[in-house]
A and B are shown apart, each in its own frame.
Chain A
Amino acid sequence: MAAAGNVALIGDVLQFIGAFVSFSIAYVAYRGVRETQSSTLLRLATAFAFLGFGFLMEGLVGLGTVDLLPGIAALTTSFVIAGLFLETTGYFFLAFSHAVDVLLAKRLGLALLVFPMLTLTMGQLTDVLTILSFYFVLYGVVETLYAYARNRKPDTLLIAGGLAFIAAGTFLQWLSIIYPPVNVISLLQILSKEIGLMMLFIPVLQFSLGRKWNGTV
């Protein structure tokens, strides 16, 4: 029982770290929007802002369930759905950024073939949101790998790897719906997402440090 509580607490801390990483990426992208008026960066900033709020919401839910924020416990279901909705919206914007890139380049996205599978119907809203998140991230992985094949930048491969970890985490989240009592799956899915987010954070760090070193701003 105590072990389950510890797992939940670790999970909550990881959710807050996820929120921090997501907001950091959103902030850098937003600075790019202000300096270049780029719609690509606007979509990226929106995606990670939604993801950040999603992780924050899920972290708060976790604190409610381990009695650190008892006031939230009564609203757990609403918070869980809101958190998942925000997270799915974030992944949607990430996938949407790639879809726009594909359409502008007038080439058919290989991963667009994945979308017809979205017609799967699920009974519960949370299940549907989790599945949608999985497909959106998977689409992001395929498109980022395609971009890597074009530009051969190690950072792009790193982001593709990060997104693959997030996709694995989302898939495990899906499994944790089917097998709710298995805490190991819950922890693994959060860990997988965190590793993925950390990998996404590396280009942000490089960018921030690089700007300071170059003194270009």
Chain B
Amino acid sequence: MAQYRTQMRIIADVLSTAKEMNVEGNGVGITTLLRKGNMSYSRMTKLISELVGSGLLVELSGEKASRYMISEKGIRFLAAYRNFEDFAQSFGLRL
């Protein structure tokens, strides 16, 4: 059965992808985020602009297309999310 993802879980998934796939240090492209994030292009671009606006992602302007990198604030958020996700799950709830 497909698991429902909350908005916060989607944000955590995108940030997690931006962190883990950034092996060369030059950020990740939107295609990678789309593939791992499992969501539509329009929804992903809207989410990315929100995450960039709130300082969780950093936009790196490339020659062809923008690339994205998780910021320090994003790393802190991801760590907090993982800690409190476990806490909420203990109460049978989802963040």
Contacts and interface: CB of A to CB of B under 8 A. Distances in A.
Nearest to B4: A105
Contact of B4 (A106, A143, A146, A204): A106
Interface of A: 28-29, 32, 35-36, 38, 40-41, 44, 97-98, 101, 104-106, 140, 143-148, 151, 153, 155-156, 158-160, 203-204, 207, 210-211, 216-217
A62 B61 CA distance: 66
A105 B84 CA distance: 20
Contact of A216 (B83, B88, B92): B83
A40 B95 CA distance: 6
Chain B, interface size category, equals: 20 to 34
Interface stretch (B22-30, B62-70, B74-82): B74-82
A32 B84 contact: yes
Contacts of B94: 40, 101
Q: Is the interface of B mostly helix, strand, loop or mixed?
A: helix
Contacts of A211: 83
A47 to B, nearest CB: 9
Contacts of A217: 79-80, 83
Contacts of A35: 76-77, 80, 84
A44 B86 contact: no
B57 to A, nearest CB: 16
A140 B79 CA distance: 28
B51 to A, nearest CB: 13
A143 B93 CA distance: 9
A28 B87 CA distance: 9
Given A35-B80, A40-B93, A41-B95, A104 B87 contact: no
A147 B92 contact: yes
Nearest to B79: A216
A153 B90 CA distance: 7
A151 B89 contact: yes
Contact of A36 (B92, B93, B95): B95
